[in-house]
Amino acid sequence: MPRRLGRKFYRRPATQLAPDLLGKVLVHRTAEGEAAGRIVECEAYRGPEDRAAHSHAGRRTARTEAMYLDGGHAYVFLLYGMYWAFNVVCAGAGAPEAVLVRAVDPVRGEALMAQRRGLPAGRRELTNGPGKLSEALGITKAQYGMDLCGDALFLEDGPAPPRIARSPRINVDYAGNHARRRWRFYEPGNRYVSVPPRD
DNA sequence: GAATAGATTGTCT
DNA sequence: GACAATCTATTCT
């Protein structure tokens, strides 16, 4: 049985945790069954000094509150009015850092994912983007602030990728200098990575 | 394969 | 009232 990751794993800065999340398996158990996928792409969002982060300048509102939780919680937010994005909150309580999971590679429950997405199994489009993987795994606002050290939503240890690549983050051009920081990490060559390697 | 437009709503100015 | 850490269908080549 793979090891379930504990609190300590998450209590690190986002830029340090993000590359380590690659290869780990995100598991969501619901009444419908279990769905799980290996993380192959993610992005680090740092605290107050990161212009691209929702917690920029220490902003603390009902929406961003979960970013201030202790490491190992879920930060879920609505994107473009219709998609949910899942983040792993990291660092310690009061430090608003998180890692956005951008793509996973299905390992268990692919049939359930396909059903939720309304697509045939085996398609890249099942989980190759933040909104897509959230839908496939059944993640919505109901999982907002959920403890990742619980029994419903958690991470398992998994095989580390052979190689890790990094690039600037996606769609944060508004963030000035910080838009250029290479805080996106991915497994090169994996077919579920949302934007093919360039950089 | 690449480029484009349209969908749709919570949150903040 | 503007805009967002996006996705899909459509229209090209």
Residue A162: what pLDDT? 96
Mean pLDDT of A122-147: 97
pLDDT band at A199; cut points 50, 70, 90: very low
Residue type, A98: A
**Residue A195 binned pLDDT confidence (cut-offs 50, 70, 90):** low
What domains are defined for chain A?
Answer: 7-186 (3.10.300.10)
Closest of A87, A50, A82, A62 to residue A72, by C-alpha: A87
CA A123 to centroid of chain Cα atoms:
20
Q: Is A156 helix (H, G, I), strand (E, B) or coil?
A: strand
* Nucleotide with the nearest C1' to A85 CA: C5
**Tell me, what's the pLDDT at A197?**
47
* pLDDT-derived band at A131, boundaries 50, 70, 90: very high
What's the CA–C1' distance between A8 and B11, in Å? 32
Strands (E), chain A: 25-30, 33-45, 73-79, 83-90, 97-108, 153-156, 165-167, 184-186
SS3 at position A138: coil
Distance of CA A165 to the CA centre of its chain: 16
Distance CA A105 to C1' C5 in A: 20
d(CA A42, CA A1): 25
> For residue A59, which nucleotide's C1' is closest to its Cα?
B12
Q: Within 7 Å: CB of A174 and strand B? A: no
Radius of gyration of chain A from its Cα atoms, rounded to whole angstroms: 15
Residue nearest to nucleotide B11 (CA to C1'): A63
CB-proximal positions of chain B, under 7 Å: 7-12
In this predicted structure, the answer to whether residue A176 has a pLDDT above a threshold of 90 is no
Q: Is the CB of A3 under 7 A from strand B?
A: no
Strand partners, A156: A4, A25
CA angle A128, A82, A172 (to 5 degrees): 65
